[in-house]
Amino acid sequence: MQQAMLRVRTAAGMTALLGLAGCWRASRPAPAPFSIVRVSPAEVESGDVLLLNDSVTVHFSAALDPLSVTTASFSVLDQNGNPVPGDLRTGTNWVTFVPHCPLGPELDDGSFRPGEVYRLVVASYPRPDAVRATDGRRLAQAAPFELRLAPPGPFDGPGGRLPAPLRPPATELPFVLPSPEVPQQLPADAPRLQLHFTLPVLPTSVRPDAFVVMQLKHQRSRLAVRSARVISSKLDQLPGSTVEIDLGAEPRLHGGDGLADGERVTLQSGDMLSVSLATGPSAVRDLAGNEAFASGQWWQVVDGAALAILSWPAEDGGIAAGEDDWLSPGFEARSGMVRPRVCAEAGDGSLGLFRPQRDTVLRPGVPFDRGDGQLVQSIDGRFPFLAIDIGPDVRVRVEGSGSAVQLLACGGIRIAGELEFVGPGVPIPPLQHGAAAAELIEQLPLVLVAAGDVRLEGAITTVTPLPPTDSAIAIAALGAIRLAGELPYNTVLAVENAPGRRRSPIQGARGQTFATSVTFTPGLAPGARFRCRGVSPWRQIAPDRDRAVVRFEGVDGGLEVEWQAVPENPVEAGTPDRRPDRMPRPRAVHDGEWIALEPGSFVRFLIAADVGAGRGLPEFRQLRLADR
């Protein structure tokens, strides 16, 4: 009887507790969905037309995880579904797409083209790469936004009539071509003059007859302008434009309306040139249609100076490594110098290139075939490779039941097959942005570390089931992490804490992962010795140039420089012809050497250097091809 009463009381107590729990759950408000609040400018939501240089900003209901904003999760697509180039800027709770401004007179070389329709797509639930809030909530389902662009020709906007569908910057700066404090230098054999205006220039107003170039010698002679074009334009914190006017390889006197009929002129060292602007219908104008005011513009012709045909790295910096051999240790451009891209956390590379040809098992302390018939083994749980390349249809099984495992690469890591991990997980460690990479590496059972890029094209899997609160794998890269394959849940993705990056270093669908930034240790690991390689982008030579001189700036000893040139692609204009039978062997070159080039061909630099711990890293400031 007493036991029965006890059971009744216990049941009643449990019922009361469940009732209280139900009341507590009912009283706890559900979190508001993470959503888009509004889009600016207002023309996007109202369906009105945008101008070619209008930025589009999406405002969210909560603070953003900036690493969730990528070109895959936030993109503008044209009518064929192709991504539109542009820059992404991320704030606390907003993302802005900044289009590239058109520079050509047809206004068709920017991100947007007149009269066309685009779609702004923001990835949302249920996509695994959806834009996320800082608390992990994925963006609620969001429909694409339609962007309708104004047609070509003059535009009647709310602020008045504009000469073209381009929005003038909101600034009180006057439209001026300011005069430099001292005469600018002009190489005699490359007479191209650059004019820097204080506001963006209307591209349709930049024509040869807008500029008056005078040679001041024994008598004033007007020179013919062969071509004029806008080469840069900014609409952000530093508005302005740069216009280049070319007098041609053989300058000529202005022959009235027939500019090509004038007498040939020889520019000599000591000559002075002046530039003024035409007025009236031929005037250079800003985006609002105002004429430019110009003060004195003077150039002194000199010998021994030159305009750059190719300059590497370019002003925008960036990683100085090519696609040809991206797995090898490479170079990077940073703080005005190009140097090997290395970090101590990536190991010494003593196990060489790991490129297995068949299924392979990695166990700490047990020899294995690295892919070329040579047996190597780890140092405790560390596998210090030069690079890692797991090809398709190859499975690499990593057994780390007894100790943590680190797969290290001085270059890049590619996983096109499968990397399978056998081992337990651990509770997800606290992730503090900007923390030391070495601390994160010691906290997880399996860590992949690369001084270069990591590219996942296949799958990384775990055999041991993990609780929802645990993680087993981290990927840390000094370069970029590019995801096009499968990752285990709760994988930690760590990239360099590098402020000012123009694009997210984590690209592709991330799924249920945790992204963070870390700080790598600059320099080489003790005992490291290997070779670094880098390749500049292809640059096209002007059709009036058939040779150039190589100039080194700030180049250390030990750096090997080669050059390579190919013709233009006959099928796809504006691109190099990279067919194997058209690719000549790179040739070594030294400072001050002349090289012969086919007009209109493409050229690039290749650099290499042997690096070793305990000695300085080779570096350079700039490599140039110049006119003289």
Domain limits, the chain: 36-154, 176-304, 311-321+529-626, 343-519
pLDDT of residue 133: 93
Conformation bin of residue 373: beta by default, left when phi > 0, alpha when psi is -120 to 50:
left
For the record, the structure tokens of 453 come out as 């890029």
pLDDT band per the 50, 70, 90 thresholds, residue 238: low
Q: Alpha carbon of 570 to those of 566, 573, 578: distances in Å?
A: 12, 6, 11
Phi and psi at 236, nearest 5°, equal: -100, -130
Q: Give the count of beta carbons closer than 10 Å to the beta carbon of residue 552.
A: 17
For the record, the structure tokens of 387 come out as 């690079």
Hunting for tokens 């004029």 — which residue is that? 228
> CA 464, 467, 470, 476 torsion: positive or negative?
positive
Q: 60 near 34, Cβ under 8 Å?
A: yes
CA distance 271 to 226: 19
**pTM of the predicted structure, to 2 decimals:** 0.60
CA distance 575 to 57: 33
Does 376 have pLDDT greater than 80?
yes
Does 178 have pLDDT greater than 80?
yes
Helical (H) or strand (E) element with 20: helix 2-27
Q: 507 near 532, Cβ under 8 Å?
A: no
Q: Give per-residue pLDDT as tens, 190-204.
A: 788 889 899 999 999
pLDDT band per the 50, 70, 90 thresholds, residue 450: very high
pLDDT of residue 628: 58
Q: Give per-residue pLDDT as tens, 249-280.
A: 778 888 754 444 578 888 888 889 999 999 99
CATH number of 36-154: 2.60.40.1220
CA distance 605 to 563: 5
Q: Is the peptide bond before 66 cis (omega within 30 degrees of 0)?
A: no
pLDDT of residue 554: 79
Tell me what the mean pLDDT of segment 71-85 comes to. 91
Q: Give per-residue pLDDT as tens, 311-359.
A: 777 544 445 555 557 899 998 877 667 889 999 999 999 999 999 999 9
Q: How many residues does the chain have?
A: 628
Find out if CATH 2.60.40.1220 is the number for domain 176-304. yes
CA distance 75 to 88: 9
Name the CA radius of gyration of the chain, rounded: 30
Tell me what the mean pLDDT of segment 153-171 comes to. 87
Higher pLDDT, 484 or 558: 484
